[in-house]
């Protein structure tokens, strides 16, 4: 083939690109509900975020499986990828971050009761991070596949459960009640686990596998916290203190959710190192 060979133009059916990417499907899934030209970017940003949620769930499931099999480097790679993906997810707030209330109102009414609160993939992420909640399945009763996936994720160990089991296998004193906890309930912070992390972080070897694991999880926790706070500030700008389309009190409800940190002991242990 010569240097200046042009790309192939001749395909019998659809292009191999199309067969792989399904761009034709993906770029025809945009059905705005209003006439407002600003609605398109709201819809596409939401769809883009759903795709990133899907990637993040994939990475954290990969990391969970690797931890279960004691393959920590594989888990570290997946967590490092997920941190960069979270940065890309968070950067996608840019087009929506400065909406004025009038701009948002131009299509807000068309959303009816629709709200990101009803995102099943976001709940899968939260479940993997340890924030289990059976009541978050209720909105999805009418969608069998989504409901089944969420139910499975509710019952399975979270990424953090797998981390704590690994720490226990490494001989660290993770209490039995944490290891045999009811996996379908929200993870509650434990002082003994906080002491375990403080011990890990006191280690002379700051590049040990467990310190690196702690830091990879902390990166994820920080970026999840940033997503929640960017969402909160975007909401404050776009709608002030109005009630949400999903029926919550809006900003005050989101403030409460955004105050929390995932992997709680990784944050509190730092005071004891």
Q: Which residues are annotated as a binding site for substrate?
A: 108, 245
Contact 113, 136 (CB under 8 A): no
Q: Is 46 in the site for ligand HEM (CB under 6 A)?
A: yes
Interface residues for ligand HEM in 219-248 (CB under 6 A)?
Answer: 231, 234-235, 238-239, 244-248
Q: Does 34 bind ligand HEM (CB under 6 A)?
A: no
Q: Which is nearer to ligand HEM, 172 or 233 (CB)?
A: 233
State the Cα–Cα distance between residues 151 and 25, nearest whole angstrom.
28
Enumerate residues 6+ apart whose C-beta is below 8 A from 202.
Answer: 273
CB of 118 to ligand HEM, least distance (A): 8
Nearest to 261 by CA among 131, 165, 167: 131
CB nearer to ligand HEM: pick between 53 and 197: 53
> Crossing angle, helix 144-155 and helix 120-128, to 10 degrees?
10
Q: Which residues contact 266 (CB under 8 A, 6 or more apart)?
A: 197, 214, 217, 218, 221
Instruction: Identify which of residues 47 and 206 has a Cβ nearer to ligand HEM in the complex.
Output: 47
Contact flags string 170-209 toward ligand HEM, x per CB under 6 A: ----------------------------------------
Which one, of 136, 149, 190, lies nearest residue 168 by Cα?
190
Please list every residue from 93 through 112 that binds ligand HEM, using CB under 6 A. 96, 99
- Encoded one letter per residue, x for contact with ligand HEM by CB under 6 A and - for no contact, window 109-138 reads ------xxx-x--x----------------
Contacts 24+ apart (CB under 8 A), 58-62: 59/85, 60/125, 60/128, 60/129, 60/159, 61/128
Q: For binding to ligand HEM (CB under 6 A), which residues are involved?
A: 45-46, 49-50, 96, 99, 115-117, 119, 122, 231, 234-235, 238-239, 244-248, 250, 253-254, 257
């Amino acid at each position: 083939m010569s240097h200046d060979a042009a790309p192939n133009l001749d395909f019998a059916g659809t292009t191999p690109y199309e067969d792989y990417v399904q761009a034709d499907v993906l770029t025809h899934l945009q059905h705005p509900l209003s006439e407002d030209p600003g609605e398109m970017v709201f819809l596409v940003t939401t769809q883009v975020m759903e795709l990133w949620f899907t990637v993040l769930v994939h990475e954290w499931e990969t990391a969970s499986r690797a931890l279960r099999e004691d393959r920590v480097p594989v888990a570290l790679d997946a967590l490092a990828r997920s941190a960069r993906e979270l940065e890309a997810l968070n950067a996608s707030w840019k087009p929506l971050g400065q909406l004025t209330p009038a701009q948002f109102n131009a299509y807000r009414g068309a959303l009816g009761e629709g709200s990101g609160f009803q995102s099943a993939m976001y709940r899968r992420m939260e479940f993997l991070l340890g924030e289990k909640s059976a009541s978050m399945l209720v909105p999805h009763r009418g969608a069998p596949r989504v409901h089944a996936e969420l139910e499975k994720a509710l019952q399975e160990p979270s990424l953090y459960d797998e981390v704590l089991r690994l720490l226990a296998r490494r001989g660290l004193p993770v209490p039995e009640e944490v290891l045999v906890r009811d996996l379908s309930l929200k993870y509650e912070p434990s002082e003994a686990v906080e002491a375990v992390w403080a011990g890990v972080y006191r280690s002379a070897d700051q590049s040990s596998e467990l310190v690196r694991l702690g830091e990879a999880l902390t990166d994820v926790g920080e970026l999840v916290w940033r997503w929640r706070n960017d969402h909160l500030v975007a909401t404050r700008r776009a709608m002030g203190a109005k009630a949400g389309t999903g029926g919550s009190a809006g900003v005050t409800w989101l403030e409460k959710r955004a105050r929390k940190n995932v992997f709680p002991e990784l944050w509190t242990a730092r005071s004891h190192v």
